Amino acid sequence: MLGKVRTKIFLAALLSVIVIFCLARDTTINDWHSYIPQRQELTKKTAVKTTNKLEQNVETPISENRIKKATSSKLILLDVPFTSQSPFGEWKDPRQQDACEEASALMAISWARREKLTRVSAKTQILAIAEWEQKNYGSFVDTDAQDTVKRIIKGYFKYENARAVEDIAVEDIIKELYQGRLVLVPTNGRQLGNPFYTPPGPERHMLVIRGYDPVKIEFITNDSGTRHGEKYRYKEDVVYKAILDYPTGDHLPIVREKKAMIVIWK
């Protein structure tokens, strides 16, 4: 009799285990099936994102190449002293108003000769250059890349380690910087979009390019057109599009548009 009772208890327990197992199996299957649509939806979203990334990569191969180069290149920043072309904000003085070439050359020569600049010394030098140009060439307004080298850098400063280069690509500027050389570029300043310029900005303006950030794809400049110009950053493409070698003279018409730079080394 006792044996029969034990048998019934065992069968009842076994049946309970089977029922629990089946219920658990059904629940597991139902949960998996309810997860599949979510998984499929996630896959679709991922595919869309991947497609968008691929499309962006196709549209911007230059930026992608720049990013690849950035992994093997470091930020370069030359130690160049800064001055505004009007150190004390005397913008009504035409000698300072048109002194971007003089101020840029002064910064470059001070870097090359390891000389310091103060506002007083900068103003004295800028006015002296303008007066020297007026005496020797009849004007201190606007000099193209070639004449900036000839008249100001080699003429006034008697510094020979400089050259003007025409028909340049953006890579030419970057290459010179990584060789430890300083670059000056003539530009249409209105295309630079600097918020510190008095609108609409200078139509003819020279910049000192003292560095390059390969991660942010930016040139680091000393922009004499504003007192906020020290280490001022511009996007690489903004600078390159703005480069314009305007002619020597008092705001003469630009007949031929060309890109040029001045390279200075120690």
| Dihedral angle, C-alpha 56, 59, 61, 64, nearest 10 ° | -20
Residue 249 domain flag: yes
User: For 207-221, what is the mean pLDDT?
Assistant: 98
Residue keyed to tokens 């629990």: 20
Q: State the DSSP code for 225.
A: T
pLDDT at 256: 87
Residue 64 domain flag: no
In tens, the pLDDT along 26-70 reads 433 333 333 333 333 333 333 333 333 333 333 334 455 654 555
Residue keyed to tokens 């850098």: 153
pLDDT at 73: 79
Residue keyed to tokens 């040029």: 260
Percentage with pLDDT > 90 across the chain: 71
Residues 112 and 155 in one domain: yes
User: For 204-223, what is the mean pLDDT?
Assistant: 98
Residues 53 and 153 in one domain: no
Angle between helices 119-137 and 100-112 (to 10 degrees): 120
pLDDT at 69: 57
Instruction: Count structural domains, the chain.
Output: 2
- Residue 207's alpha-carbon distances to 219, 227, 242, 250, in angstroms, are 11, 13, 11, 19
Residues 110 and 214 in one domain: yes
| 220 within 8 A of 231, measured Cβ to Cβ | yes
In tens, the pLDDT along 62-92 reads 455 654 555 457 999 999 999 999 999 999 9
Residues 55 and 75 in one domain: no
In tens, the pLDDT along 94-145 reads 999 999 999 999 999 999 999 999 999 999 999 999 999 999 999 999 999 9
For residue 222, what is the domain's CATH number?
3.90.70.10
In tens, the pLDDT along 45-56 reads 333 333 333 333
248 pLDDT exceeds 60?
Answer: yes
pLDDT at 50: 35
Residue ending a domain, among 21, 39, 59, is 59
Q: Which domain holds residue 45?
A: 1-59
169 pLDDT exceeds 90?
Answer: yes
Residue 65 domain flag: no
Q: Which residues have C-beta within 8 Å of that of residue 178, sequence separation ≥ 6?
A: 73, 76, 212
Residues 193 and 74 in one domain: yes
Residue 255 domain flag: yes
pLDDT at 113: 98
| Dihedral angle, C-alpha 188, 92, 122, 174, nearest 10 ° | -10
| Dihedral angle, C-alpha 107, 120, 98, 246, nearest 10 ° | -10
pLDDT band at 10 (very low <50, low <70, confident <90, very high): low
Residues 175 and 240 in one domain: yes
Residues 55 and 161 in one domain: no
pLDDT band at 25 (very low <50, low <70, confident <90, very high): very low
- Residue 102's alpha-carbon distances to 126, 196, 246, in angstroms, are 6, 20, 15
Residue ending a domain, among 59, 82, 100, is 59
Residues 185 and 105 in one domain: yes
Residues 28 and 95 in one domain: no
Residue ending a domain, among 38, 59, 80, is 59
Q: What is the pTM for the complete model shown?
A: 0.74
Residues 5 and 86 in one domain: no
What are the E-state strand segments in the chain?
76-77, 162-166, 182-187, 205-213, 218-222, 232-235, 260-264
